[in-house]
Amino acid sequence: MKATGQPYGEIGRVRIVDTRSKAAVAQVEYACDPINPGDTAIPFAEKAMVNFHPRCALTAFLPPAAKFPAAS
């Protein structure tokens, strides 16, 4: 397990509204889990859209009398 690295999760998104000596004040814009003081923050970067495969015909539940197309 050690070789896999440190687990992490993208918990939410915050907007920095004020900075102080060695700290920042942020407003939570979106969160999936609690965001706690001391959590690590990274700059936001837009992620690419996920490409999905087009829908395909599902023939597994055709009635037994159905004729299947010949394989090419």
Only one residue has tokens 């395909």, namely 56
4-57 per-position pLDDT tens digit:
888 888 899 999 999 988 888 899 999 999 988 888 888 888 889 888 877 777
Do residues 19 and 25 make contact, with C-beta atoms less than 8 angstroms apart? yes
- Tell me the C-alpha distance between 71 and 13, whole Å: 50
Do residues 59 and 71 make contact, with C-beta atoms less than 8 angstroms apart? no
Answer whether residue 58 shows pLDDT above 60.
Answer: yes
